[in-house]
């Protein structure tokens, strides 16, 4: 396994991190028989293969406890990353206050569940610039509390995860408060590239969530595997692309079976994920695909609301997965989600009234594309 510097912290993290967000770690209603044993087996095998960074969170169900079971015998081998409960309710619940007392309560719950007395990388979960300036960094707020834990060593390094705009992400980096960050970056979504470079330049560790785009890049695609000669699978090229960035410390993967652990660890053990020539070829292919995407739906939403309730941008986003990226299985899964439940939002509801086409700034033939999407993606 390759290892890289995590910013200026002095830590050496494995190129592949273990993301413990989903099955078999979450527990509760999502559990299946044997999940707890599988979680343990996957983590132990990952550590045996040279991995050393495990990422969890207070908000991930039973994940911290299940990670803690493994840490009992291997704490010094692991760089432990967890997150305080999300600040997101501040955006959605007027009057909600995430007080320092509540922050302390969540931190103590993490220590108890994990069975540890210090955390290497402690993240503010889903932090936005607005939340940082308006709440987190206010005098007497959570930042002051965290500083006390940094001083006594129970938190080694303060980090943040973020889904904000690249511009706001750069502002968070420039505050000089954080030692590292966790953000999204993958073949399908490169909008954070400038922020990654800026964070690296400023000495932050940079961990990546979603290197396989939340599972969308887990589907076969001849278009993507055909970019290079020595590609085993779409996840292989997706992970290699992320790790080829000189600004990335570690890419997290939510591995839910032993085969995935073996394959991803093998990919992360390559001394050079992509040669400069391979990286240039991949980037050119991605730019060609992005230009093609520009001819299709951009997801602006001006076509909404549809009188029949069709989720037009979501339908066309699923169609783009198929016709631009060749990710047919992922496209069909995304489309099936629109058909599910008591209130389906798929293209079968379209009565071709044409209202959407009159509002589309790109003048797309939306009705024709909805028919195409339903024909291609409703197939089981």
The pair of three-digit structure tokens given for residue 99, joined into one six-digit string: 């007080």
**Spatial separation of the C-alpha atoms in residues 186 and 195, rounded to whole Å:** 14
Dihedrals phi, psi of 309, to nearest 5 degrees: 85, 15
Q: Across the strands, what pairs with 285?
A: none
* Nearest alpha carbon to residue 240 among 206, 278, 284: 278
**Spatial separation of the C-alpha atoms in residues 216 and 247, rounded to whole Å:** 23
Say what the pTM is: 0.87
* Nearest alpha carbon to residue 119 among 56, 207, 175, 205: 56
Q: Which fold has domain 3-275?
A: TIM Barrel (3.20.20)
Whether 249 and 6 have beta carbons less than 8 Å apart is answered as yes
Each residue's pLDDT expressed in tens, for the chain with a length of 380 residues: 999 999 999 999 999 999 999 889 888 777 887 799 999 999 999 999 999 999 999 989 999 999 999 999 999 999 999 999 766 555 556 666 678 888 899 999 999 999 999 999 999 999 999 989 988 999 998 999 999 999 999 999 999 999 999 999 999 999 999 999 999 999 999 999 999 999 999 999 999 999 998 888 988 899 899 999 889 999 999 999 999 999 999 999 999 999 999 999 999 999 999 999 999 999 998 988 888 877 788 889 999 999 999 999 999 999 999 988 999 999 999 999 999 888 999 999 999 999 999 999 989 999 999 999 999 999 76
Q: Where are the domains of the chain?
A: 3-275, 312-377
360 conformational bin, left if phi > 0, alpha if psi -120 to 50, beta if neither: beta
DSSP letters, 143-194, are: HHHHHHHHHHTSEEEEEEE--S-HHHHHHHHHTS--SEEEEE-BTTB-TTHH
Using alpha carbons only, how large is the chain's radius of gyration in Å?
A: 22
């Amino acid at each position: 396994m390759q290892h890289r510097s995590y910013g200026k912290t002095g830590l050496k993290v494995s190129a592949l991190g273990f993301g413990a967000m989903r099955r078999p770690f979450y527990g509760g209603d999502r559990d299946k028989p044997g999940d707890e044993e599988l979680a343990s087996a996957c983590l132990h095998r990952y550590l045996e293969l040279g991995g050393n960074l495990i990422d969890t969170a207070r908000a991930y169900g039973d994940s911290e406890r299940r990670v803690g079971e493994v840490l009992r015998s291997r704490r010094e081998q692991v760089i432990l990353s967890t997150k305080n409960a999300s600040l997101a309710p501040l955006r959605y619940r007027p009057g909600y206050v995430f007080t320092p007392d509540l922050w302390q309560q969540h931190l103590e719950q993490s220590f108890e569940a994990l069975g540890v007395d210090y955390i290497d990388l402690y993240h503010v979960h889903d932090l936005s610039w607005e939340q940082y300036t308006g709440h987190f960094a206010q005098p007497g707020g959570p930042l002051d509390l965290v500083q006390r834990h940094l001083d006594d060593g129970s938190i080694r390094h303060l980090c943040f995860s973020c889904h904000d705009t690249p511009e706001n992400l750069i502002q968070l980096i420039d505050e000089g408060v954080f030692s590292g960050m966790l953000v999204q970056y993958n073949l399908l979504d490169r909008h954070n590239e400038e922020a990654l470079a800026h964070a690296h330049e400023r000495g932050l560790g940079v961990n990546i969530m979603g290197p396989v785009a939340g599972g969308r890049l887990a589907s076969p695609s001849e278009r993507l595997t055909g970019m290079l000669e020595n590609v085993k699978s779409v996840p292989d090229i997706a992970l290699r692309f992320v790790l080829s960035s000189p600004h990335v410390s570690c890419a997290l993967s939510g591995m839910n079976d032993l085969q995935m652990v073996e394959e991803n660890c093998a990919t992360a053990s390559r001394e050079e994920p992509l040669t400069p020539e391979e990286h240039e070829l991949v980037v050119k292919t991605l730019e060609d695909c992005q230009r093609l995407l520009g001819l299709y739906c951009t997801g602006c939403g001006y076509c909404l609301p549809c009188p029949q309730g069709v989720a037009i941008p979501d339908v066309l986003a699923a169609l783009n997965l198929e016709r631009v990226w060749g990710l047919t299985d992922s496209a069909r899964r995304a489309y099936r989600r629109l058909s599910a439940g008591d209130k389906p939002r798929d293209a079968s509801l379209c009565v071709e009234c044409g209202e959407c086409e009159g509002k589309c700034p790109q003048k797309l033939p939306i009705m024709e594309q909805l028919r195409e999407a339903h024909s291609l993606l409703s197939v089981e």
